[in-house]
């Protein structure tokens, strides 16, 4: 079972994940467990202070190390009491590694993680140096806190678990799972505002359909994310036929 412990000042963010949509199935099937921890519960003053002004001056506030340290100790003790293995601590930070499908797939095969959702200007660096194993980011932009990236990561992991999606192949065909962007998809009606479904998808020829979808993925990736093709070339993940198709489109490795 995947266990996630989330440290957040706003634990209510995470309730919908457990009760709605596809991710709900991961919790209903007990394949995934989520427990939220509010660091205010581990403060020692009457005001439940969680932040303070930064040394050296400047705008904003910085999250205090001590309440977070006590929160992490409580999580470690809870996991040990439940006979669950220790888990790495991941901090959501704009300076971290960007989340990608490989990271999500690796996490889905693990025992889970402790997810630290920072707020304000961030976390006292001494806490990061002592207790954080990995810093991760949703992208090259700044959010008010780590809750939205945490939700995105948990949702991405949940859909890879057995039985969570209606069809296991859905996850395998998603964008990035093969290294490429996904191909376009069509459904009924066959004609919509004078636009028709591509003939090959109506042919019943599964080999032709598979090749068309592969070529559409290659075409879309070349147009929008050519950096992904560079990665696939470095891992020799493109077939000779893929390279011939890309070459005909003017792509030069």
Per-residue pLDDT tens for 168-222? Answer: 555 555 556 678 999 999 999 999 999 999 999 999 999 999 999 999 999 999 9
Question: What would the CATH number be for the domain defined by 173-248?
Answer: 1.10.1270.20
119 burial type by CB count under 10 A (0-12 exposed, 13-18 middle, 19+ buried)? buried
Q: What confidence score (pLDDT) does residue 110 get?
A: 97
Instruction: State the span(s) of the chain assigned CATH 3.40.1280.10.
Output: 2-158
Q: What confidence score (pLDDT) does residue 174 get?
A: 56
Q: What confidence score (pLDDT) does residue 165 get?
A: 84
Q: What confidence score (pLDDT) does residue 133 get?
A: 98
Give this prediction's pTM: 0.86
Which residue numbers are catalytic? 94, 121, 159, 174
Task: Give the alpha-carbon dihedral of 210, 216, 222, 223, to 10 degrees.
Answer: -170
pLDDT by residue, tens only, the chain of 253 residues: 999 999 999 999 999 999 999 999 999 999 999 999 999 999 999 999 999 999 999 899 999 999 999 999 999 999 999 999 999 999 999 999 999 999 999 999 999 999 999 999 999 999 999 999 999 999 999 999 999 999 999 999 999 999 998 655 555 555 566 789 999 999 999 999 999 999 999 999 999 999 999 999 999 999 999 999 999 999 999 999 999 999 999 998 8
- Cβ-Cβ contacts under 8 Å for 11 (sequence gap 6 or more): 36, 37, 38
Instruction: State the span(s) of the chain assigned CATH 1.10.1270.20.
Output: 173-248
- How far apart are alpha carbons 107 and 85 in whole angstroms? 14
Q: Which CATH class is domain 2-158?
A: alpha beta
């Amino acid at each position: 079972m995947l266990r996630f412990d989330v440290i957040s000042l706003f634990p209510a963010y995470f309730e919908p994940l457990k009760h709605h949509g596809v991710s709900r199935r991961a919790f209903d099937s007990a394949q995934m467990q989520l427990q939220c921890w509010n660091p205010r519960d581990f403060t020692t003053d009457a005001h439940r202070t969680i932040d303070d002004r930064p040394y050296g001056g400047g705008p904003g506030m910085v999250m205090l190390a001590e309440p977070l340290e006590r929160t992490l100790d409580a999580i470690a003790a809870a996991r040990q009491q439940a006979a669950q293995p220790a888990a790495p601590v991941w901090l959501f930070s704009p300076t971290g590694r960007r989340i990608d499908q490989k990271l999500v797939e690796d996490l889905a095969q693990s025992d889970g993680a402790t997810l630290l959702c920072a707020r304000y200007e961030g976390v006292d660096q001494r806490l990061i140096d002592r207790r954080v194993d990995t810093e991760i980011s949703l992208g090259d932009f700044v959010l008010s806190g780590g809750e939205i990236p945490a939700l995105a990561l948990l949702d991405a992991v949940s859909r890879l678990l057995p039985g969570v999606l209606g069809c296991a192949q859905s996850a395998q065909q998603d964008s990035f799972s093969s290294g490429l962007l996904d191909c376009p998809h069509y459904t009924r009606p066959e004609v919509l505002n004078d636009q028709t479904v591509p003939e090959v998808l109506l042919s019943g020829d599964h080999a032709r359909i598979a090749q068309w979808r592969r070529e559409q993925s290659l075409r879309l990736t070349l147009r929008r994310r050519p950096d992904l093709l560079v990665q696939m070339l470095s891992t020799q993940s493109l077939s000779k036929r893929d390279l011939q198709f890309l070459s005909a489109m003017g792509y030069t490795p």
